[in-house]
Amino acid sequence: MLDSIRWSASLALRLAMFFVATPSLSVAGTVVGFVVDEDEQGVPGAIVIVCDAEGGSPLHREERRPIAELVMQSASSTLDDWLHATTDHKGEFKLEDVPEGDYRLLAQSWSEVPTPSAPLEVNGLIVHLRGTVEVSVLEEGETLAMIRPLGDETFVYNRGTSNDDWYLVMSRAAPRADPVLMFVGWGGPFLKEAIGYARMPAGRIIVRGLPADSVHYTLFASDSQPGFGAGIADLRNGKIVVSEQNLVTSWGNAIHDPPPTLTPLCEELEDLREARGKNAIYDLLWEGFEDRQSELKRVPALAKWAAVVSIVGPLEREMILPSGTRTCVGDYLSASMYLDLNSSRAR
C-alpha cells in the first residue's frame, strides 16, 4: 500500500511538518527578547526557534514560510534550515524580517556547544529546554518576548546506537496516531505544543528543564528503512516513569506486529484482502474520493501520505467496513500499514 521512500539524516525532522497547511505570509516585523533561567538571569548561546502558532511548524530561514508549505512543493535538502536566533552573552536575541502573524518561540541550549549553529546539528549529549512563548508580530513593529523555564526535571534516554541519525521531539500533547503512521502522528496538538527538539549522538540524550508533568515524546531513526517510536515520561511526584512503544520498522529487532488494540482490525482487513483481492483495502479507503486520487500526481513523493490524509481524513473520520465494523481513518491506516510491514518482511 505504501511506496518505498529513501531517507537520510538531512530529511529528518522537517518531514514531520507537512501535516498542517498555513496561509502564506508577507509583511514583516521584528522580535526582540530574552531567554532567562530560573533565577531570571540571561542564558547565553540559546537557540530560539520561530514556529507557526497555528500548526507548530518551524519557519524556513530564507523563505520565512512554514516548512509545512514548502515540503508540499519541494524535496530540497535546505528545508531543515529553520529560522532561529542565538542569544548573546546577556541572553538577548533579535529576529528580524519575521512575517506579520502569530508565532510560538521555542528556546533551548546545549552544555557541550556554547554557540550551536543550528537546531538539528549534533550539538551534544545534554540539551536544556529553556521554554516557549507565544507572540504576535505586527507589520514594521517590534515585538517583545521573554522566554522562561518550563521546570527543572531531567529525562535520560539511551538507545545505544552506532550513529547520530536519531531524533527526539518532546511535547506536552500526545501524538495523534500510532508510530506505524510515521510523521502523520506528529501533526495537530503534538507539534503545536512541542517543547524541545534534539538530534541524539549515538542514540543518547539527557534532557533538562522539563516540567513536572507527563511529557510525550516521539523518536525518528533515519535509515533507508526509517524507524518511529513514541512514549510518555511521567515526571510527576519526583519520579520518572517511562512507558514506551518500541521502534516500529522493518528491522529485525523492532516491532512488526500491531498493538492489541489494533489486532482485531488487522485480522479483519486481512480477511477482506483475501476475500476481495490485494487492492480491497486501498479501494475501501478511497471510497467516495476516487476522483481526487489524481491530485497525488502533483505532490512530491516525500509529502504523499500527508496529501492522502488531507483528502480521505481527518484521522478521526468514521469508516464502516463491509462487515459493519466501525473504525476511524487513523486506525484503518495504522492496521493497513502493519499488514504491509509484515507482508514486506515475508517477501
**Residue range 269-275: mean pLDDT, rounded:** 95
Q: Residue 39: which residues within 8 A CB-CB, separation 6 or more? A: none
Closest CA to 132 of 172, 98, 160, 161: 172
Indicate the pLDDT class of residue 52, thresholds 50, 70 and 90. Answer: very high
Whether the Cβ atoms of residue 84 and residue 94 lie closer than 8 Å to each other:
no
Q: Scan for cell 483481492, then name that residue.
A: 277
Residue type at position 155: F
**Residue range 150-175: mean pLDDT, rounded:** 91
pLDDT of residue 256 exceeding 80, the answer is no
**Residue range 235-253: mean pLDDT, rounded:** 73
pLDDT of residue 1 exceeding 80, the answer is no
Most confident of the following: 9-18, 26-35, 44-53:
44-53
Tell me phi and psi for residue 208, to 5 degrees: -120, 155
Q: What b/e readout covers 239-251, taking b as 16+ CB neighbours within 10 angstroms?
A: eeeeeebebbbbe
Q: What pLDDT sits at residue 346? A: 53
Closest CA to 290 of 306, 279, 277, 278: 279
pLDDT of residue 245 exceeding 60, the answer is yes
Mean pLDDT lowest for which of 286-290, 298-302, 336-340?
A: 298-302
Measured CA to CA, the distance from residue 312 to residue 253 in angstroms comes to 33
Q: For the chain, which residues make up each domain, given as ranges?
A: 13-248, 263-346
Average pLDDT of the residues of the chain:
85
> Which residues does residue 198 pair with via DSSP β-bridges, in sequence order?
168
Measured CA to CA, the distance from residue 94 to residue 228 in angstroms comes to 35
**Residue range 92-118: mean pLDDT, rounded:** 93
pLDDT digits (tens, 9 = 90+) for 305-339: 778 888 999 999 999 999 999 999 999 999 998 99
pLDDT digits (tens, 9 = 90+) for 116-126: 888 888 999 99
Grid cell of 246 as nine digits: 518500541
**Biggest distance spanned by C-alpha atoms of the chain:** 68
Measured CA to CA, the distance from residue 87 to residue 110 in angstroms comes to 13
pLDDT of residue 250 exceeding 70, the answer is no
Grid cell of 340 as nine digits: 504491509
pLDDT digits (tens, 9 = 90+) for 165-187: 899 999 999 999 898 888 888 88
pLDDT of residue 2 exceeding 90, the answer is no
Mean pLDDT lowest for which of 13-27, 102-116, 136-150?
A: 13-27
Whether the Cβ atoms of residue 189 and residue 232 lie closer than 8 Å to each other:
no
Indicate the pLDDT class of residue 298, thresholds 50, 70 and 90. Answer: confident
Measured CA to CA, the distance from residue 287 to residue 153 in angstroms comes to 48
CA distances (Å), origin 23, targets 17, 70, 99, 143, 188:
14, 12, 11, 21, 16
Q: What pLDDT sits at residue 3? A: 40
CA distances (Å), origin 291, targets 72, 312, 330:
20, 12, 21
Whether the Cβ atoms of residue 160 and residue 203 lie closer than 8 Å to each other:
yes
> Which residues does residue 229 pair with via DSSP β-bridges, in sequence order?
219
**Residue range 191-218: mean pLDDT, rounded:** 94
Q: What pLDDT sits at residue 342? A: 81
pLDDT of residue 26 exceeding 50, the answer is yes
Mean pLDDT lowest for which of 14-23, 67-76, 169-178?
A: 14-23
Q: What pLDDT sits at residue 89? A: 96
**Rounded percentage of the chain residues whose pLDDT exceeds 90:** 53
Indicate the pLDDT class of residue 154, thresholds 50, 70 and 90. Answer: very high
Mean pLDDT lowest for which of 188-197, 226-235, 310-319?
A: 226-235
**How big, in percent rounded to 5, are the helix, strand and coil portions of the chain?**
25, 35, 40
Q: What pLDDT sits at residue 343? A: 75
**Residue range 216-242: mean pLDDT, rounded:** 84
How many C-alpha atoms does 142 have within 13 Å on its Cβ side?
A: 5
> Which residues does residue 232 pair with via DSSP β-bridges, in sequence order?
216, 243
CATH H superfamily, domain 13-248: Immunoglobulins (2.60.40.10)
Dihedral sign of CA atoms 235, 154, 84, 19 in order: negative
Measured CA to CA, the distance from residue 121 to residue 199 in angstroms comes to 7
What CA dihedral angle connects 93, 96, 100 and 105, to 10 degrees?
-30
Measured CA to CA, the distance from residue 198 to residue 87 in angstroms comes to 18
Indicate the pLDDT class of residue 73, thresholds 50, 70 and 90. Answer: low
| Comparison of pLDDT for 300 and 124, the residue scoring more | 124
